[in-house]
Amino acid sequence: MLNVQTSEIENRAVKLGTTDGTKVHAKDVNVYYGDKRALFDVTVNIPDRSVTAFIGPSGCGKSTFLRCINRMNDTIPICRVTGKITIDNEDIYDPSLDVVQLRARVGMVFQKPNPFPKSIYENVAYGPRIHGLAGTKAELDHIVQTSLEKAALWKEVKDRLNDPGTGLSGGQQQRLCIARAVAVGPEVILMDEPCSALDPIATAKVEELIDELKQNFCIIIVTHSMQQAARVSQRTAFFHLGILVEEGATNDIFTNPTDKRTQDYITGRFG
Amino acid sequence: MSTTILVLIILALGVVGWVLGNWRARTSVNGKTSALHSRPGYYGAYVLLWTTLPALLLLILWSAISPTVVSSMVSSRLPETVLAGPEQTRALTMSTIGMIEKGLSRLSSEELDKTADPATDVKALLLSKGVPLAVNPEPFAVDAARFQLAVKNSSQLLLTASALGLSLFCMAFGFFQVGPKLRSRNAVESVALAGLLGCSMVAILTTLGIVLSMLFESIHFFSMVPITDFLFGTVWDPRFSAAGATNEAGGQFGLLPLLWGTLYISLVALLVAVPVGLFSAVYMSEYASSKIRLTTKPLLEILAGIPTIVYGFFALITFGPLLRDAGALAGLSISATSVLTAGLIMGVMLIPFVSSLSDDIINAVPQSLREGSYGLGATQSETIKRVILPAALPGIVGAILLAASRAIGETMIVVLAAGIAPNLTLNPFEPVTTITVKIVSQLTGDLEFNSPQTLVAFALGLTLFVFTLALNIYALYIVRKYREQYE
pLDDT of residue A14: 42
pLDDT of residue B53: 93
* CB proximity B136 to A under 8 Å: no
* CB proximity B465 to A under 8 Å: no
Split at pLDDT 50, 70, 90, the class of A137 is very high
Mean pLDDT of B293-302: 85
Residues of chain A contacting B396 with CB distance shorter than 8 Å: none
Select from A101, A96, A37, A104 the least CA-distant residue to A65: A37
CB contact under 8 A, A126 and B391: no
- CATH match for B252-486 among 1.10.10.10, 3.20.20.10, 1.10.3720.10, 3.40.50.12280: 1.10.3720.10
- Quick check: is A241 in a domain? yes
Distance CA A131, CA A261 (A): 44
Q: Alpha carbon B56 to chain centroid distance?
A: 26
Each residue of B235-263: pLDDT tens digit? 888 776 554 555 555 678 888 889 999 99
Would you kindly state where each structural domain of chain B is located, as residue ranges? 3-182, 252-486
H helices of B36-177, in order, are 40-75, 80-84, 87-104, 109-115, 122-128, 139-177
Q: How big is the CA angle at B396 (ends B391 and B401), to the nearest 5 degrees? A: 145
Task: Provide the ipTM.
Answer: 0.85
CB contact under 8 A, A126 and B289: no
Specify the CATH number for the domain of residue A157.
3.40.50.300
CB contact under 8 A, A72 and B371: yes
Distance to chain A for B362, nearest Cα, Å: 14
pLDDT of residue B122: 75
- Quick check: is A21 in a domain? yes
Each residue of A224-240: pLDDT tens digit? 888 899 999 999 999 99
Select from A86, A50, A52, A53 the least CA-distant residue to A68: A86
Residues of chain A contacting B374 with CB distance shorter than 8 Å: 72, 75, 103
In terms of CA atoms, which chain B residue is nearest residue A125? B376
pLDDT of residue B176: 92
Residues of chain B contacting A131 with CB distance shorter than 8 Å: 377
Helix (H, G, I), strand (E, B) or coil at A229: helix
Split at pLDDT 50, 70, 90, the class of A17 is very low
Q: Say which of A114, A118, A184 has its CB closest to residue B377.
A: A184
pLDDT of residue B348: 92
In terms of CA atoms, which chain B residue is nearest residue A179? B376
Residues of chain B contacting A63 with CB distance shorter than 8 Å: none
CB contact under 8 A, A181 and B375: yes
Each residue of B143-171: pLDDT tens digit? 888 888 888 889 999 999 999 999 999 99
Containing structural domain, residue A39 = 6-266
Q: How many CB pairs under 8 A join A and B?
A: 71
* CB proximity B237 to A under 8 Å: no
pLDDT of residue B394: 83
pLDDT of residue A127: 92
Average pLDDT, chain A: 87
Helix (H, G, I), strand (E, B) or coil at B37: coil
Q: Decide if pLDDT at B107 tops 90.
A: no
* CB proximity A78 to B under 8 Å: no
Distance to chain A for B469, nearest Cα, Å: 30
Burial of B28 (0-12, 13-18, 19+ CB in 10 A): middle
Q: How big is the CA angle at B390 (ends B388 and B393), to the nearest 5 degrees? A: 105
Interface probe, candidates B376, B385, B388, chain A, greatest A C-beta count within 10 A: B376
Q: Decide if pLDDT at B210 tops 70.
A: yes
- Quick check: is A271 in a domain? no
Each residue of B47-105: pLDDT tens digit? 999 999 999 999 999 999 998 888 888 888 887 777 777 777 778 888 888 888 888 88
CB contact under 8 A, A72 and B372: no
CB contact under 8 A, A100 and B377: yes
Split at pLDDT 50, 70, 90, the class of B225 is confident
* DSSP states of A22-82: EEEEEEEEEEEETTEEEEEEEEEEEESSSEEEEE-STTSSHHHHHHHHTTGGGGSTTEEEE
pLDDT of residue A9: 47
Each residue of A72-90: pLDDT tens digit? 888 888 899 999 999 998 8
In whole angstroms, how large is the CA radius of gyration of chain B?
33
What are the residues whose beta carbons fall under 8 Å from the beta carbon of B284, sequence distance 6 or more?
Answer: B293, B296, B297, B300, B355, B359
* CB proximity B381 to A under 8 Å: no
Q: Say which of A75, A127, A166 has its CB closest to residue B377.
A: A127
Burial of A105 (0-12, 13-18, 19+ CB in 10 A): middle
Q: Decide if pLDDT at B404 tops 70.
A: yes
- Quick check: is A1 in a domain? no
Q: How many domains does chain A have?
A: 1
